[in-house]
Amino acid sequence: MGIPKAVSKKENEESLWKNREREYIKELCSERGIEIEELGIKRENYSLPEYREAMAAVDELKAEAETIEESVNDTKKRLEIAREKSGNPLKEKIKHKSVKREER
């Protein structure tokens, strides 16, 4: 049950061991009725300038997401303050209707 010697640069002892372990885990999961979802993520090889450009785009999107999140949190805070100041008129309407019913 040893690991065979490397055949090529991509098919070396480590990759063979990883593949053997993956197959073993797949077998265990299938025996126990566990479904495995293989994502099959394939990444493109980027040149250094392409990689830098892609990472800059990722950083811009992260900054935009943070700005949106801050805006949402600010809006939530304002809404909470407005509700506190208004005394929640919906509750007042409910109380008012229940008082009218009791008076009848």
In this prediction the pTM is: 0.40
What share of the chain has pLDDT > 90, as a percent? 38
- pLDDT(11) > 70: yes
Q: Which residues 6+ apart lie within 8 Å of 29 measured at CB? A: 35, 36
Q: Which residue has the tokens 């299938």?
A: 30
Residue 43's nearest CA partner among 54, 32, 33, 35 is 54
